[in-house]
């Protein structure tokens, strides 16, 4: 099994799905195409693609890291800690925040995928469970 064929399969799966997937989910979809592939090969290829800036790795509170194909258009997420609803923010909505942080800290931010956790408006209206 050539590593390049596994990388190509990963890229195809991430492009087709256009969502966040765990390494296990990616492996399941690739294994159907490439039965000889093993999970560690997929995981190593995902790590390499992440280091190269092709995919992002995020903790979205699902119990496993998720991977997503990076695009030219940055986006970020707000995730409800109660109902797990995901709100996607386009990069423009965070540009001002990032600019202020860069100005006040002197850092040049490299973030391409920010995940913030909170409680959504709907869950804030729900009475707490006793």
27-77 pLDDT tens trace: 999 998 899 999 999 999 999 999 998 998 888 887 889 998 887 567 788
CATH architecture of 75-125: 2-Layer Sandwich (3.30)
The mean predicted confidence, pLDDT, of the chain is 87
- Among residues of the chain, what percentage have pLDDT more than 90? 49
Tokens representing 4 are 């390049």
pLDDT of 2: 54
Tokens representing 54 are 């092709």
Q: Where in the chain is the domain with CATH 1.10.10.10?
A: 3-69
Separation between Cα atoms, residue 52 and residue 57, nearest integer Å: 12
Q: How far apart, in Å, are the Cα atoms of 1 and each of 7, 23, 37, 38, 41?
A: 11, 18, 7, 10, 9
Q: Where in the chain is the domain with CATH 3.30.1490.190?
A: 75-125
At the topology level, CATH places domain 3-69 in Arc Repressor Mutant, subunit A (1.10.10)
Tell whether pTM > 0.85: no
């Amino acid at each position: 099994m050539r590593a390049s064929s596994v990388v190509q399969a990963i890229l195809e799966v991430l492009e087709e799905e256009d969502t966040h997937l765990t390494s296990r989910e990616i492996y399941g979809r690739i294994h159907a195409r490439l039965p000889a592939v093993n999970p560690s090969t997929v995981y190593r290829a995902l790590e390499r693609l992440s280091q190269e800036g092709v995919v992002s790795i995020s903790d979205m509170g699902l119990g496993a890291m998720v991977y997503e194909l990076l695009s030219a258009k940055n986006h970020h997420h707000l995730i409800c800690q109660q109902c797990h609803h995901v709100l996607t923010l386009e990069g423009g909505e965070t540009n001002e925040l990032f600019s202020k942080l860069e100005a006040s800290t002197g850092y040049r931010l490299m973030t391409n995928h920010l995940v913030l956790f909170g409680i959504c408006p709907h869950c804030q209206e729900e009475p707490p469970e006793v």
